[in-house]
Amino acid sequence: MFPHALRVTLALILFRSGPQDFPYSLQLSRACAALAALASLLLMAPLIPLPLALAAATGGVVGLAFFTRTLLRARKVENRLVQTLGAQYLTGALFALAMWPAFQALAPELGRLLSDPTAMDSLRAGKPIALDPPAWATLMSDLLFFWSLAVSVRINRLAADLSVATGLLLTLAGALVMMSFVVLAQILAMPLMGLFGLLPSAPAAGV
């Protein structure tokens, strides 16, 4: 069944099929959710501590399920949930894996930014920051992001019988919902990290 799901997903990525073509299997949907979480974990692990990366990956998967169920329930087509989630999870996992080389190349610059309090303060204040990421990695990550967004919009539009504009707006809203779940999962993970001594120690104050 998974080879068939993979073929449908590749066709989805090329805009040649829809979520209705994805195999209807709860077990397959759960496996795709686990694969999506693993792919997300691989992307984030070089940038943040592993427990936070795991929490973020889990939060993203749960957030997507929450948004998709809410959307399809509101449109009274909740019977399409299993196929829609399977399609969203597997396409997301493939895009994340495709982004992995670019993220590996971007990781040193992003890691330097995240570990530099001065740079983060400048970022929050809207000031320019000197970064020198590889041009190919930036271009590749941007291209794959917008491609994945277009695929996600198509899946939501076909699953919930939406117009293109409404599908785009609701998909962007879904991304905000996912980010909220990611942040919440990381906040909940912080006490556990502290309990096991996994939080990074604060830098000593200068004399």
Note the pLDDT tens digit of each residue in 11-59: 999 999 999 999 999 999 999 999 999 999 998 888 788 888 899 999 9
What is the DSSP track for 97-122? HHHHHHHHHHHHHHHHHHH-HHHHHH
d(CA 65, CA 46): 26
* Tokens (6 digits) for 71: 């959307």
Position 121 scores a pLDDT of 59
- pLDDT at residue number 183: 92
Give residue 152's pLDDT: 97
What's the pLDDT score for residue 188? 86
Instruction: Examine the pLDDT at 61 and tell me if it is beyond 60.
Output: yes
- The HSE-up count of residue 143 (CA atoms within 13 Å, CB side) is 9
The rounded distance, in Å, linking the Cα atoms of 73 and 85 is 13
Q: What is the pTM of this model?
A: 0.84
Confidence of residue 77 (pLDDT cuts 50, 70, 90): very high
